[in-house]
Amino acid sequence: MAVMLPLYASQSFPCVPVAARSLLWLALSLPLALPAVARQDPAEGACVEIPPQPQTESFRFEPSAAHQDFEQEIPAGSRIGSIRQQRFTVFDTDDPEEDKWLYRWANDFHSVTREWVIADHLLVEEGEEFNVARLRESERILRDLGFIYDAEVRPWRRCGDVVDIEVITRDIWTFTPMLSVGRSGGENKYAIGFRDANFLGTGKQIIIQHDSDEERSGNTVRYVDPALAGSRWRMRASMADNDDGYEHGLRLVRPFFSVYERWSAGLDLNRMKLEETRWFRGDEVAEFEHKTELVETFGGIASATGDHRRVGRWLFGYVYESNSFDFSDSDIPPLELPEDRDYSYPYISYESTADRFVELHNFNYLGRTEDVYVGERYSWVLGWSGKDLGASQDQLVLKGSYENTLLVDDYRLWQLDSTLEGFWGVDNERFENLWWTTQTSYLHKQSRQWAVFSRLRLDYTDGLTAERQLTLGGDNGLRGYELNYQVGDRSFVFNLEQRYYSDWHPFRLVQVGLAAFIDVGRAWFEGQDNGSNGGVLANAGIGIRLNSSRAEKGSVVHVDLAFPFMTDDDVSGSQILFTIRDSF
């Protein structure tokens, strides 16, 4: 530089003394050498730029007060200039704890999500009006992708009324050689194969696996595209060949991608053959063959968002579903097969949702940002399945749901949701496959790491056909009892947990949590004897929760040891459960 400075100055300004030329060159170079905090650009006006956040802080998505204050100062009517991206891979090798050969190899092997994949899921574009709500919803959409650990969308520079945006994302490990085993309610299951939820960084999911559980074993091939050809359309194609049948499915849908989407449409095709099982006291008592064919098509429109961001959506569609039954090669055939039946109905649906989310940590997962819905939404569906349309009988189609948050603050979250679906026969004036579920849950954060969680679920059914059964056991609420232990047409189950979200992060790969729990519940038929041990059941136990910080967040490993209080000859003194669930 000491040699180049006089040379540059003498060539550029030959009539200026050397010392003056040096000072002039330094003055011209200074804006290029220092961070541009208030740089004058004749084309855009005065620019205000936030110094970049240190890379390790961005990798960990640590809050930046400078960026938050800057965002609040942007005046209404500003427009988006440019959108840049920071796409982090799985491990931060700038951190000495992660600068290891294994982590470097994992980064080299992993394909970082392509820039166009991120852009396809954003709700903001260059040239449009700046809207903070669209930034927040873009973050939620990115975090909802199975291959993104976390995401942040924020402004970083403003030149007059033009705002530049940056998008920060961090990948998770998506190529998974699949080798898993599980035990729930006295039954074992396993899966082998591989899956990649972000194949070569394209956002496409490929699954090839062989799995076996208490009901069947088979091979599955699945392809999922969350943005078909860069559009809002999503596709899911799957083929499964099982020892008791098959499943072939194709789903093509353009969902209401956000509260700003004005229309939706879709097509769903499915053919399936499987062996249905009837249960009692955890034992299989009957098995038979069930074939299903399904065709559904729909379209919908949405209203514009208002001041409170409540959106109404109307959907119109048509469903044809065929169900046929036959005896299988099972050693325990039923005394009588269910009747074959067909449904054929157009329907109209309405749903209303308020766009309200909060960001939580240590709720359903450990150490991750979670977008939890805390608004009110409801929906209903009315349809007519008639003989003139090809149905087995004239029936009114009924579906509905309601979800609301009753209380939310920094320490408490109380939620309620209820769903109802079924058919009402006009000729026989009876319900068919009516199922009503109501659930309420309450979480109280005692501190950053401790929380009490409780949940009460009520189920009521009427007119269930023989292939459907309401059961209660180790996989759905009573962890001290076998799978499908009690049966009935109604049930309740209450779960109480003391949770501990630890900071233990072994090998920078897995977050560890603990739980102590009590379960109380019962399934029964009103006015009928439900057999031995058919009353209220209860158990207590302890468990470990393992949540990978580098793989898909929806896979939380549960290892539970449960002890039943009400025992019988067919109930063991303890149950060990090894399951993979989508939450803590």
Between the two ends of the chain, the Cα-to-Cα distance in Å is 59
Phi, then psi, of 555 in degrees rounded to 5 = -115, 95
- Spatial neighbors of 6 by CB under 8 A, at least 6 apart, are 18, 21, 22
Neighbours of 472 (CB within 10 A): 26
Q: Give all domains of the chain, ordered by start, each with its CATH number.
A: 49-171 (3.10.20.310), 244-581 (2.40.160)
pLDDT in tens, the chain (584 residues): 333 333 333 333 333 343 433 333 333 333 333 333 333 343 445 789 999 899 999 999 999 999 999 999 999 899 999 999 999 999 999 999 899 999 999 999 999 999 999 999 999 999 999 999 999 999 999 999 989 999 999 999 999 999 999 999 999 998 877 666 655 555 566 678 888 999 999 999 999 988 777 666 788 999 999 999 999 999 999 998 887 789 999 999 999 988 889 999 999 999 999 989 999 888 899 999 999 999 999 999 998 765 557 899 999 999 999 999 999 988 999 999 999 999 999 999 999 998 899 988 888 888 888 899 999 999 999 999 999 999 999 999 999 999 999 999 889 999 999 999 999 999 999 999 999 999 999 999 999 999 999 999 999 999 999 999 999 998 888 999 988 999 999 999 999 999 999 999 999 899 999 999 999 999 999 888 887 888 999 999 999 999 988 887 667 889 999 999 988 877 888 888 888 888 88
pLDDT computed for residue 28 by the predictor: 30
Q: How many CA within 13 A on the CB side of residue 428?
A: 10
pLDDT computed for residue 21 by the predictor: 38
- Strand 370-373 relative to strand 175-184: parallel, antiparallel, unpaired? unpaired
Provide the whole-model pTM: 0.84
pLDDT computed for residue 180 by the predictor: 61
Distance of CA 156 to the CA centre of its chain: 29
pLDDT computed for residue 531 by the predictor: 78
pLDDT computed for residue 9 by the predictor: 33
Q: Which helix (H) or strand (E) holds 497?
A: strand 490-501
Neighbours of 319 (CB within 10 A): 18
Spatial separation of the C-alpha atoms in residues 178 and 195, rounded to whole Å = 7
Q: How many CA within 13 A on the CB side of residue 454?
A: 9
